[in-house]
A and B are shown apart, each in its own frame.
Chain A
Amino acid sequence: MKKTALNEVHRKQGGKMVDFGGWDMPVQYPAGTIAEHLAVRTAVGMFDVSHMGEIEIKGPQALALVQHLTSNDASKLADNQIQYTGLMTPNGCFVDDILVHRFGPDHYFLCVNASNSDKDFDWIQSHAAGFDAEVTNLSANYSQLAIQGPRALEVMQPLTDVDLSAITYYWFTTGHVDGVPAIIARTGYTGEDGIEIYFDPSESERMWNKIIEAGQPHGLIACGLAARNTLRLEAKMALYGHEIDDTTTAFEADLAWICKLGKGKFLGCDRLVEQKEQGLTRKLIGFEVTDKGIARDGYPAFIGDREVGRVTSGSPAPFLKKNIGLAYLPIEHTAIGTKFEIDVRGRRLAAEVVPTPFYKRSRQ
């Protein structure tokens, strides 16, 4: 199994380790998932996300290649700006969902999902022929930590030489964290304010311990993958392999905002244009279980006796104290307030389509 540079640290600190897509990662720490989730909502938490992949695209036609491969419009990015986008298949579905960081007009840095990192690199390389651009897999060169929550900047500001408050949401800068050169981005996957830092893996243990120490007075605790999942679900952020994959289009996944059909040709755009004209037959919705019980990933959804869809992610929402989830339903059953049922291991539980995101932080 693959390990991040922090594997031993997680074990020493009581992390419960699991196989996560071939990576040996902490699913939770001794505080437990609910405490970790609430720490991120009300104070601050830290995640080791070094398993995520990093791919660099450089060269005179770097932008043209990014534009060809992704659905959002990367030409709108300024230097040091970040964009959430889809790495698309020719049928308008997802190879992956990724973050594109623009260092300059000929230099882009992609952050991709851990389990897709090799696949994404091969995909990008295989489509790079004809573009004057060099594609490099830098995944082994970076550790990544996510410090998330309303007090994240307070914790991190004394450790860095850059003014964190000057980096706005979905922008980044380069500087030092605890003296170590780092990419510092105002991004995350929790629905909270926070930053993500990328740096040399050899500094991982020292960096981790330093941030834990600096964060303790602010309530910072180490968080595992289970809390990362409940946090991103409350914020209705898609997870590859659940809400999105190579069979779901961006429109179906309620991600029309990352499909810029007017930007010019890109992989999958013809299919997306066609789907927009024809209309959707199904769409991702958010639901709340109104009976007592939890609808989990993969459980079938019913209207009457007819199986109409499946839950893509389902879980208790620790901050909202509800049982929520996301599911694909036929388009005619996607209106807010639509009632349906979910088969929970032989018991039918009542559920209702509700507005999303389930949780939205108040912005200052």
Chain B
Amino acid sequence: MASYPDNLHYTKDHEWIRVEGDTGTIGITDFAQEQLGDVVHVQLPRTGEKFEAHVTFGEIESVKTFSELFTPASGEVVEINEALGDTPELVNSDPYGGGWMVKLKLSDTGEIDSLLNASEYEDFVESQKED
């Protein structure tokens, strides 16, 4: 069973964000990594790049397919997870921990209020499965 920690916010594109002060750490959800299968490559932006909310910031490749990564909120990339270069499989084994992707300095923390909480996201995933 996929898990969705309560302290995170979620998008319908299956990203999560953990907000600490004005910094947001971003990754993909347990459901998303399960759907992708074995992750073999993550294409991340460079630090200093700026993004609006809900735009593509990178790509994730599994053995079988690829998927775009979307920002849950707008901001500037202040750190990327270098470990994914050699061990992209962290996205599968630890999606909310070692499998994080980028940290953004958020330009508007108020944007977070429009994201889903854990139970709303879980309901969304279940509704997707029924389709």
Contact = CB atoms under 8 A, between A and B. Distances in A.
Is the pairing of A and B real? yes
Interface of A: 16, 27-28, 32-34, 226, 230, 292-294, 296, 315-316, 318, 345
A33 B64 contact: yes
B94 interface: no
Contact of A294 (B38, B41, B92): B41
Contacts of A33: 37-38, 63-64
A28 B40 CA distance: 16
B56 to A, nearest CB: 10
Residue among B37, B43, B64, B92 having the largest count of chain A Cβ atoms under 10 Å:
B64
A294 B37 contact: no
B52 interface: no
Residue among B37, B43, B63 having the largest count of chain A Cβ atoms under 10 Å:
B63
Contact of B61 (A27, A226, A294, A318): A294
Given A27-B64, A33-B64, A293 B38 contact: no
27 contacts: A16-B37, A28-B37, A28-B64, A32-B37, A32-B92, A33-B37, A33-B38, A33-B63, A33-B64, A34-B38, A34-B63, A226-B37, A230-B63, A293-B41, A294-B40, A294-B61, A294-B66, A296-B66, A315-B63, A315-B64, A316-B40, A316-B41, A316-B63, A318-B38, A318-B63, A345-B59, A345-B66
Nearest to B35: A16
Given A28-B37, A33-B37, A226-B64, 16 more contacts: A27-B64, A28-B64, A32-B37, A32-B92, A33-B63, A33-B64, A292-B41, A293-B41, A293-B43, A293-B61, A294-B61, A294-B66, A316-B40, A316-B41, A318-B63, A345-B66
A315 B41 CA distance: 12
Interface in B1-60: 37-38, 40-41, 43, 59
Nearest to B40: A316
Contacts of B61: 293-294, 316
Residue among A27, A294, A296, A345 having the largest count of chain B Cβ atoms under 10 Å:
A294
B111 to A, nearest CB: 27
Interface string B85-116: 00000001000000000000000000000000
Contacts of A345: 59, 66
